[in-house]
Structure 1
């Protein structure tokens, strides 16, 4: 009878403990969806550390499957507390999302840059192929490269700002700082900015190009280079003159009127055949390619007569044509037997 009563008490005690375990599991299921599942397998039901709905519960399910005794439960509780405090899963998820956003931004930037370069080359090549603007190929290519560089740098700055925002950085202070720095640089580099803006309009308006003879201020020379900041002239004495584009106010382009005029004087003996000498001057001028020629007596004395040839040539070819003309005149006068003095 005593053994039977003991078995009844043990059975009743086991049933009571089982009911208490299930009630605890039911209350704990509010905080963790995996406790109810594990209640039948654990010696003692453990209430998880954390807040209901926290993303770390997905990791609790993995750890709770391994618990078999109170010692394991305590270690898991300690680990779970550290994990919840560090919030490593959320940080890991944020890093993955930020990396994906950065990858998208980089790919988009490369695609936009490729399209800009491709379209820029296509437009420049098409413009250079047009006959009416074929003479302005250097200017078109310079402007095309300038516009493409401006657009590419703008896209790069936007991509950098998007990348900083994707990794969680607040770009508002950065924009404010950049604005202040831009104002400071603008005040400090006013002359540089003025020169570059003036250079852009010089190229865009085609006021002069390489090879033309121009007068800028008090300086006359052949244009050798037109840059974004400076213009290079070669004066009549062969000196290189560098002028800031911001200082280009008054421009006289001698090449746009059709050419530049020059004079060549030839002294012959007073008893020489002047008509034959004039004929030689006109013939050689036509042979060399000098237009709108005029020949006449510019000076004379008892021993000699000075004949002057006036003509017009393209400004960039003036020196070469003048040298060729003098050489041919000397040969023809010797052939015709006319004495030069």
Structure 2
């Protein structure tokens, strides 16, 4: 029997028709892969274009959700196209898809009982996007992880902390979230001045300095609120500014430096308070 099988294989190999069919199959498979990649590229470009158009006309509060949905759609398109291309390649290799699909359905039912966490991940990820709990680029804290959201996938969410460490968290484990990016943070800076100082002159210098503050994390113009309180030996003046969430310390250090240098240029002293 083995000799007969070997003879059949050998006879098929030497026939030109075999090589012709083999070459055609290889070309078809390569063509399917190229078409799949091209189709994915076109759909990704179309989705990105639609997202950009929506970002230009939507309110700022909706831009986060649109960006996240765009990335999620790109992932779904890629998975769908690659799955279909995989089936077509198997068909081109002579594998019957009917029994394969039927077997996959039966296996899917069996696997489903052991893949409940996977289903929970997908459903939770869907509601994260639908309810706009957080979006790509947001700074969040969930469980023991805190960082910027880099990717929201169908199954997992990728979080990068300030050290550059990447945490991949299953969506079903995200039960409680603190989102630091929904609202701007407020930074308060107190400047203590002596009672005998020229208050009007100092306030004028402080306002001029506040108007010239330029930092990528500052939102809007700082506000010089004026006298905050009277202490035993000094008067406390307060300046407030809004900045992007989680960058309060960075902005405050910048403000301390700028106000300190400005007051020193005018032979004045400041005392930073927490």
* TM-score, scaled relative to structure 1: 0.53
Give the number of the structure whose residues are more often strand, by fraction.
Answer: 2
Residue 252 of structure 2: aligned partner? 322
Is this contact kept in 2: 1:213–1:220, CA < 8 A? no
From 52, 56, 65, the counterpart of 1:132: 56
Contact 1:284 1:325 in 2 (8 A): no
The equivalent position to 1:264 in structure 2, one of 174, 181, 189, is 189
Higher helix proportion: 1
1:156 aligns with 2:85: yes
Q: Do the aligned partners of 1:270 and 1:302 also contact (CA within 8 Å) in 2?
A: no
- Which range moves more in the overlay, 219-228 or 323-332? 219-228
Distance of aligned partners of 1:122 and 1:178 in 2 relative to their CA distance in 1, 3 Å threshold: same
Partner of 1:50: none
Q: 1:195 aligns with which of 115, 121, 124?
A: 121
Structure 1 gaps, min length 5: 1-87
Counterparts of 1:1-341 in structure 2, within 5 Å, are 106=29, 109-110=32-33, 112-124=35-47, 126-127=49-50, 130=53, 132=56, 139=68, 142-143=71-72, 145-160=74-89, 162-163=91-92, 166=94, 171-172=98-99, 174-199=100-125, 202=128, 207-210=134-137, 212-214=138-140, 216=141, 223-228=148-153, 229-232=156-159, 234=161, 242=167, 243-248=169-174, 253-257=179-183, 259-289=184-214, 290-291=220-221, 293-315=223-245, 318-341=248-271
State how many pairs are aligned. Answer: 244
Which protein has the larger Cα radius of gyration, Structure 1 or Structure 2?
1
Change (3 A) 1:126 1:340: closer
- Pair 213,274 (structure 1): closer, same or farther in 2 beyond 3 Å: farther
Structure 2-normalised TM-score?
0.64
8 Å Cα contact 1:265/1:307 also seen in 2: yes
Report the CA distance shift for 1:221/1:306 in structure 2 as closer, same or farther (over 3 A): farther
Where does structure 2 lack aligned partners over 5 or more consecutive residues? 1-7, 215-219
Task: Give SS of 2:40's match.
Answer: helix
* Alpha-carbon RMSD: 4.5
Deviations 1:67-92 (A, max 9, x none): xxxxxxxxxxxxxxxxxxxxx8xx97
